[in-house]
Amino acid sequence: MTWQVYHVIVRLRSPLHIGYRKVGNVQRTRPYVTGRALWGALTMRLTRDATAPATGSHAYQQIGDEVHQQLAFTYFYPALQSGNDYQVVWPWDNETLFRPRFLSSYQSTALAYPQHAAAEGMLHEVEYISPHTLDTGQPVYLQGYIFAKTDCTLAWQSALERLHIGGERGYGWGATELVQISPCEDDQLFGGVAQFQQSNNSFTISLPKDGRLLAHTKADNAAIIGNLEPLVGREWRSHGGAGQHIAFTGVCFSPGSVVATAQCFTVKEFGVWEA
């Protein structure tokens, strides 16, 4: 079984919120798209395209399992157009410049109409990746890679044309426009920042010494310098409701962490790496 690797560029058409953590009344966003968020968006789009109406949770679970079996992803990162190419802007290169350029927030509250005032305790603020840079107004793109089995039966390329990613989708957030899908002609990812290699039914990604992790990574025995975090997400299961199931992937090094020596990683479900 072999895989074909595709370089994918999508343009943000509305604010994008990738749930991270809550600080006070501010819901922070991650500055990139995780594999879990992309898996969820693809599962939703593919299920609704294949099943009309897609009202049963069983159909979503079945398509979600097929996405796990036939596709894999890198995380997707903000990028800007540079001539005829696109240049990723890594969040960890200069956070003090990245944050005011790409991230903003939206504040709102519920109203208590009898008192003609804001309802107590309902003020909240949602952070997002802006569809345009906040300093120069340039369009913001997302760049990443999708690995598809050569006999993949999922219509994932057409699904990318109408994809909504992340949270607050009910308010129109997370809308993307497909710009480019192109098969990779070499083994390079993100302009040579990482390399991939196929092996039987899986593939590995290698980083050079002092390279940066590009996904959450389980690495019990690797020399890595960076932050650890428990990777937790909410899922819909047939025996529960929306977001009622807490899925725990494990304790991982965060993207941007540095490997002390050259290292290879296997890509697992949700784009998580494992040493």
What is the spatial order of strands in the sheet that 26-29 belongs to?
A: 19-23, 26-29, 124-129, 103-108
DSSP string covering 30-79: -SSB-HHHHHHHHHHHHHHHHSSS---HHHHHHHHHHHHHHEEE--BEEE
Say if residue 102's pLDDT is above 70.
Answer: yes
Q: What is the residue extent of each domain of the chain?
A: 3-274
DSSP H or E segment with residue 156: helix 156-159
Q: How confident is the model at residue 189, as a pLDDT?
A: 95
Q: How confident is the model at residue 66, as a pLDDT?
A: 94
When pLDDT is averaged across residues 76-95 and rounded to a whole number, the result is 94
**Would you tell me how many other CB atoms lie within 10 Å of the CB of residue 46?**
23
Q: How confident is the model at residue 266, as a pLDDT?
A: 93
Q: Which residues of 76-105 are buried (b: 16+ CB within 10 A; e: fewer)?
A: bbbbbeeeeebebbbbbeeeeebeebbbbe
Q: How confident is the model at residue 22, as a pLDDT?
A: 86
pTM above 0.85, yes or no: yes
Token readout for 67 is: 């996405």
The candidate with the shortest Cα–Cα distance to 187, out of 141, 247, 147, is 147
Q: How confident is the model at residue 67, as a pLDDT?
A: 95
The candidate with the shortest Cα–Cα distance to 98, out of 77, 112, 119, is 77
Type of residue at 62: Q
Half-sphere exposure of 275 (CA within 13 A, CB side): 17
pLDDT digits 0-9 by tens, 108-130: 877 777 777 777 777 788 999 99
Residue that the structure tokens 């760049």 belong to: 143
Per-residue confidence band for 240, with pLDDT thresholds at 50, 70 and 90: low
Say if residue 136's pLDDT is above 90.
Answer: yes
Q: How confident is the model at residue 9, as a pLDDT?
A: 97
What percent of the chain shows pLDDT beyond 70? 96
Q: How confident is the model at residue 213, as a pLDDT?
A: 97
Higher pLDDT, 105 or 199: 105
Q: How confident is the model at residue 195, as a pLDDT?
A: 94
pLDDT digits 0-9 by tens, 26-74: 899 999 999 999 999 999 999 998 877 777 778 888 899 999 999 999 9
CA dihedral 220, 66, 256, 204 (to 10 degrees): 60
Distance CA 242, CA 246 (A): 11
**Phi, then psi, of 44 in degrees rounded to 5:** -60, -50
Q: Evaluate the CA torsion angle 175, 177, 182, 188 in order and state its sign.
A: negative
Say if residue 137's pLDDT is above 70.
Answer: yes
Q: Which CATH topology does 3-274 take?
A: Alpha-Beta Plaits (3.30.70)
Mean confidence (pLDDT) of the chain? 90
DSSP string covering 72-104: EE--BEEEEEETTEEEE--TTT-HHHHHHHHEE
> Tell me, what DSSP letter sits at residue 254?
P
Per-residue confidence band for 262, with pLDDT thresholds at 50, 70 and 90: very high
